[in-house]
Amino acid sequence: MLNKNIALFHEGHHHHHDHVHTDCGCGGSCGHAHEEDQMSKDEKTLNILLVHWVNHNESHEEGFREWVSKAKEMGKEESAEYIEKAIEAMQKANEMLLEAKKHM
């Protein structure tokens, strides 16, 4: 079993994701339940990702709101409106992600 810690960098944020890779050395022809193992791992990963995506989106919301204010101060009302719409869309996306999590 090989454990890898993969660091992702995104807009100044540093995210760590642990990935576990297993290899029985059979090349997939041993008859082991690799497909079931992978489905179980994928389900765990998806559960983690759904929460991560919501948290990640929420972490950006404060910054977006700050720039709504700044855009308004610059007289860029339309830009501010579109950023506000983006916030609303992100909140709707979070609702969908949380609904997906309920069905796991």
Domain boundaries, the chain: 35-102
Q: What is the pTM of this model?
A: 0.62
Q: In tens digits, what is the pLDDT along the chain, a chain of 104 residues?
A: 333 444 444 555 555 544 444 455 565 556 556 778 988 999 999 999 999 999 999 999 999 999 999 999 999 999 999 999 999 999 999 999 999 999 99
**pLDDT value at residue 45:** 97
Other beta carbons less than 10 A from residue 50's beta carbon:
19
d(CA 50, CA 8): 17
User: Residue 21, by phi and psi: left (phi above 0), alpha (psi -120 to 50) or beta?
Assistant: beta
